[in-house]
Amino acid sequence: MEPGTCDELEILTDSIYVVRGITEWIKAWKKNGWRNANKKPVSNVDLWTKLDGLIARHPAKISWRHVDGHVGLKGNECADKLATRATAAMKKEDIVYQQKTERKRKHSAGREPKSKRARLTPTIHGDRAHS
């Protein structure tokens, strides 16, 4: 073990879904091609695969524990604030992206598709090129 690392890590979360997902369901999800017991795609599979990869690379023995949310646990309250801020920032990025996409769509709406536009092919007359 490297200096500054630990051989055991306990992760506390107020999400029973996360605790059960990572400790009980993930093996079956992977075995079933990321489908749940109802044969439907697992929600947030991108996050689950990322979490699974991080856990696989971590040298510590990791345990997961559910804690009640919004009961004044300092670390949990801080995590909730960080998650809320991150979600708001992601929503803002999505809105900006949608606005840019809409502007591009409106800008190109008045034009004919590129394939139908007249193409300017340069022709050579003597020493000069003309379009």
Q: How far apart are CA 28 and CA 52, in angstroms?
A: 13
**Using one digit for the tens of pLDDT, what is the confidence trace for 12-70?**
999 999 999 999 999 999 999 999 999 999 999 999 999 999 999 987 899 999 999 88
Q: Which residue has the higher pLDDT, 79 or 123?
A: 79
- Residue 83 predicted with pLDDT over 80: yes
**Using one digit for the tens of pLDDT, what is the confidence trace for 90-119?**
888 888 888 888 888 887 776 655 555 444
56 near 89, Cβ under 8 Å?
A: no
Q: How far apart are CA 38 and CA 28, in angstroms?
A: 12
State residue 131's pLDDT score.
Answer: 45
Average pLDDT of the residues in 71-93: 88
Average pLDDT of the residues in 72-90: 88
Q: How far apart are CA 125 and CA 15, in angstroms?
A: 74
Q: Which residue has the higher pLDDT, 5 or 69?
A: 69
State residue 115's pLDDT score.
Answer: 53
- List C-alpha distances in Å: 45 to 11, 29, 35, 40, 101: 20, 9, 9, 12, 26
State residue 119's pLDDT score.
Answer: 46
Tell me the torsion sign for CA atoms 29, 30, 32, 33: positive
